[in-house]
Amino acid sequence: MNDGKTRKDIYPGLLVNIILKKNQRSGELTEGIVKDILTSSPYHSRGIKVRLTDGQIGRVAEILEDED
């Protein structure tokens, strides 16, 4: 399963589940389409930070659409 911690696996247009900052404790997931990648490092232990097309920002918890 792709857990969204590696930047090269994430690109605009990808369908993902993210955890919003306000939902970090509960772990509640928000589904959306990646618009921008906000993390510059190639790997992040808590997930790559992205902006969704609806403007919400969070860390990728899982990638839903996998084109491998």
pLDDT for 4-59, tens place per residue? 999 999 999 999 999 999 999 999 999 999 999 999 999 999 999 999 999 999 99
> Around 51, how many Cα atoms within 13 Å sit in the side-chain half-sphere?
7
* pTM > 0.85: yes or no: yes
Say if residues 53 and 33 touch (Cβ distance below 8 Å): yes
In one letter, which amino acid is 27? G
